[in-house]
Chains A and B, each alone.
Chain A
Amino acid sequence: MNTPLPPRWAKVLLLWLHPENTIEEVEGDLDELYAYSYQRFGKRKAVLRYLLNVVSVLPPFVRRRKTQYKPSLSLSPDMLKNYFKIAWRNIVRQKAYSILNIAGLSIGMACSILILLWVQNELSYDRFHDRASQLFRLTCSAGDFKTAVSAAGMAGGLQAQLPQIKSGVRISKLSPMLFEVGEKKVEEKRVFYADSNFLEVFSFPLLSGNTATALKDPGAILITEETAKKYYGTSDAVGKTIRINNNDNFTIAGILVNSPSNSHLQFDAIIPMKTMAKWNGDLQNDTWNNFNFYTYLELDVKTAGSVPAQQKVLLQIANVFKARGQDIKLDFQLQPLTDIHLHSNLQIDLPGHGNIQYVNIFLIVAIFILVVACINFMNLSTARSERRAKEVGLRKVVGANRYQLVFQFLGESLIFSFLSLVIAIGIVYLLLPVFKMLTEKTLAINLLDGKLLLSLLGIAVLTGLLSGSYPALFLSGFAPVKVLKSKMRVAGGNLLFRNALVVTQFVVAIVLLVGTAVVYKQLDFIKERNLGFDKSNLLYLPMTGELGGKQQALKASLAQNPLTENFTVISGLPTNHESGTIDVIWDGQTAKNQVVFPSFDVDENFVKVFKSQLLAGRGFDKAFSGDSSSYMINEKAMQVMGMNLENAVGKSLTFGETKGTIIGVVKDFHFKSLQYAMEPLVLRLNKWGGVVVVRTTAGSNEQAIKALGRINQQLNPAFPFTFGFLDKDLDNLYRSEQQMGSIFNLFAGLAIFISCLGLYGLSAFMAEQRTKEIGVRKVLGATVAGMVGLLARDFLKLILIAIVIASPIAWYAMNKWLQGFAYQTTLEWWVIALAAILATGIALFTISFQSIKAALMNPVKSLRSE
């Protein structure tokens, strides 16, 4: 059958006016309808209807179908494949640029990962205990003197009276002991006594032995697996005996799992408190006024969770303390177990604490280093944007929308950041041993740990997004017409932004440099500070074992040998002196029990051997028989007591139970870390021993050590010879500062290195862009030096701005840090100037490679191509 055709002109009208995207279906439909009416109603009516229908689908009557055109999805496999291909081509084609980028990013990431590992370790302290959140340490303070110890009777007494306290555990201070198994004799330092419920309150598991009874028997001892291996070669040592201090035999009741590195309690052996109770008066009397034990309290869940409830407990503790008839004015605190490692600034505390300040500082440093690395990436990508402008233009012309381009470039930076992550993990593996040495911590990176893996991926994604965001927005914003007509100019705004980024990088680098310099300066200051005595060539021998009982013989043999004759016996070393009392009464005292007086027991030779200075009166002297009740005080004590150099000598002073008189005033000397301000000190005549300190002459140290060893061998054959140098011990006090210094140094160096990578890339790019200009200038007679200057000037300006911004920041930050020390080095302007000059020098050096290369180029080559 012949298909009837509608009027042509109407169809033309339709084709002309009907919306383009629906014309096909509408035309077909109308034809079909025409044929239908043609058959049913005849031609005339069909044409009429057709015309009517056509009009009804012409504007303005017709509704336009929204474009249903579907662009190929960004996530379609083809596009993804294309993105990867382009990204890979870009990486491979611009090798130098890719290496700079990846090196910067991966070093930055490696730094951050290392720091994060360290921070994570610091923050994880003591959290492994099952009831960590319920455990608190009872600490107390008298005025400014804050201490971690409490009295022996408190744990039991408080638990009996306060229902909120579920249990209390006492731990003694660390007491070094000589362990002897067969032929093997070693002085173990990390040993303490603990109450029988120690293992129940703390989660230190036993490898073998009974948790409930292990610490009950006074003749028992627990040793760690490591210690067991050391002495017996096996961890199966339960029931064997250890001879301690050449005196008592202990039976091993259990083997402890080695104390975790993130525990503030570090031990090699634990002895039941009952053993100590055999000879310790504090324990026998359950004393409330001798502060010699660490007391840990387990509170019930409700109290542990609320601060007001804890305040109430503290109030009750104070009341109980008062009710015991203690008139000492003391404040008690409950220190959460998990705060001990980082937030403790107490005296008489267990060694090896961290510092929350350093954790924060390093976290900030980690973030900054990562930012510096990201900035590199941003800078290099935007600087090279012209290279990709054509690609962007073409993609846009073919129909890419902006989101797709943003997605593409972000994806590319993510590829970079993940590549860098892989390399960074490699670097971390390589650097871990070095870092371990610096921090003295066993850090491990365990990639199977889900949390760690997640945070690593997090870092990579964050880095990728951060570094890719600006280039992505910038590149995707190109107008296709402009870039394809090659009319692209590097926009002023872009240049400004890039310059701001370079300035930021150098601000960070300079601040870190100043930080390093100040940390070292402060360390130097502390080491060089006059301590009030001459610390060099002081050799000491602790009176262990039988030496304590043979003092007369010891003194006689020391005096016989010219190498050791210049000796003194003092109660403890002036490194971190740990004891004090407030039970001091003097002439003209206004209020009792207000000030803590540390005390030293020294003998007649003290002033001479230590080369300390007598300001008034005299030192202890054998010629005066009454000196056993005489006291010397330091300047600070004199001021505290309201005396002066004229009237102090001869005043009466009661220290503890002994009433006596002041016979001399010594110039202040430091007997604690320089982090603490000078405290008042009382010196008593030493009648019991302690440590022998020998002043040797320079160069004769070796012989003096040998002589001491022989004396020890004669008098104290059962104990190994131990000795030390006082100045080394003093230096060790500033271990954590030293660590901080070296870590700071490392990261400052890396930050600068990363910045320089970026600078190198930028300068290479700039030099390349200005090839023609340089060529023309050279042809016109510019010198090489002039050209280098021209190229360096732009960067120099930025670095100067960075110096201006960095100086006050560094000044402020380092002043803040120094405030933590009682004795601070001065922060001088030249430190900052030095850092600035150093940064400038390094930057110029970096730039010089490219600028000199560019300046030396033969202008013929650069100009020929046009």
Chain B
Amino acid sequence: MRRTYLGEFEELVLLMIAILDGHAYGVTVSQEIEQHTGRVVTFGAVHNTLIRLEEKGFVTSQLGGATTERGGRRKRLFKVTTLGKSALTDIQQLRNKLWTLMPDATLKLNGL
């Protein structure tokens, strides 16, 4: 199987979308990243990544219904597609495989 190409940040965003499970949009994704990694990212980076992920077919988006919050402006909510899910599991499996291949010494050395 062809390995799915996902950048580091893309993977992070994709994971966040998966975690948020239907409530993912620009704000929540930015906040989650900030909370879990401590990284402060510009909104533009998140916004661009979301668009790119959608172009790659890992997520789909939909404009949520108009609300009274944010001056009636709609949110664009993101959902992971099947392709996105399989990409995430692929990455995880690969990582796991690679970890098992690693000699114990290396790990210890690294851990020191």
Contacts and interface: CB of A to CB of B under 8 A. Distances in A.
B51 interface: yes
B26 to A, nearest CB: 4
A56 B25 contact: no
B74 A25 contact: yes
A31 B71 contact: yes
Contacts of B73: 24-25, 27-28, 31
A10 to B, nearest CB: 13
A25 B26 contact: yes
A63 B51 contact: yes
B42 interface: yes
A30 interface: yes
Interface in B23-48: 25-27, 30-31, 40, 42-45, 47-48
Given A25-B25, A32-B27, A33-B27, A63 B74 contact: no
Contacts of A30: 43
A28 B42 contact: no
Contact of B27 (A36, A58, A64): A36
Nearest to A63: B48
A62 B51 CA distance: 10
A57 interface: yes
A61 B51 CA distance: 13
A55 interface: yes
Contacts of A26: 26, 43, 47
Given A33-B43, A36-B31, A56-B43, A25 B63 contact: yes
A63 B63 CA distance: 18
Contact of B47 (A31, A36, A62): A62
B107 to A, nearest CB: 38
Given A29-B26, A33-B27, A57 B44 contact: yes
A66 B61 CA distance: 13
Nearest to A61: B44
Interface residues of B, number: 24
A93 interface: no
B47 A63 contact: yes
Nearest to A65: B51
Contact of B74 (A24, A52, A57, A62): A24
B75 interface: yes
B48 A29 contact: no
B76 A63 contact: no
Contacts of B40: 49
A29 B75 contact: yes
B95 interface: no
A65 B54 CA distance: 9
Contacts of A62: 44, 47-48
B55 A56 contact: no
Contacts of A56: 42-45, 47
A53 interface: yes
Question: Chain B at the A interface: mostly helix, strand, loop or mixed?
Answer: helix
Contacts of B45: 56
B91 to A, nearest CB: 22
B56 interface: no
B55 A29 contact: no
Nearest to A58: B44
B30 A33 contact: yes
Contacts of A53: 42-44
A64 B25 CA distance: 17
B43 A63 contact: no
Contacts of B54: 65
Nearest to B66: A24
Contacts of B26: 25-26, 29, 33
B90 to A, nearest CB: 24
Nearest to B54: A65
Interface string A32-74: 1100100000000000010011011110011111100000000
A27 B73 CA distance: 8
B3 interface: no
Nearest to A35: B70
Nearest to A55: B44
B42 A52 contact: yes
Contacts of A32: 27, 69-70
Interface in A459-503: none
A32 B48 CA distance: 18
A29 B51 CA distance: 15
A25 B75 contact: yes
A257 to B, nearest CB: 62
A190 B15 CA distance: 88
Interface in A281-333: none
Nearest to B44: A56
Residue among A25, A30, A57, A58 with the highest chain B CB neighbour number at 10 A? A25
Contacts of B42: 52-53, 55-56
A66 B52 CA distance: 10
A33 B25 CA distance: 12
A36 B40 CA distance: 13
Nearest to A31: B70
Contacts of B30: 33
A42 to B, nearest CB: 15
20 contacts: A22-B51, A24-B63, A25-B73, A26-B43, A28-B70, A28-B75, A29-B26, A29-B27, A29-B43, A29-B75, A55-B44, A56-B43, A56-B45, A56-B47, A58-B44, A61-B44, A63-B47, A63-B48, A63-B51, A65-B51
Given A26-B47, A33-B26, A58-B44, 10 more contacts: A25-B75, A25-B76, A26-B26, A28-B70, A28-B73, A31-B71, A32-B27, A33-B31, A36-B31, A53-B44
Interface of B: 25-27, 30-31, 40, 42-45, 47-48, 51-52, 54-55, 63, 69-71, 73-76
Interface of A: 22, 24-33, 36, 49, 52-53, 55-58, 61-66
The 9 A-B residue pairs whose C-beta atoms are closest, nearest first, are A56-B44, A28-B73, A29-B26, A56-B42, A53-B43, A63-B48, A28-B70, A25-B76, A57-B44
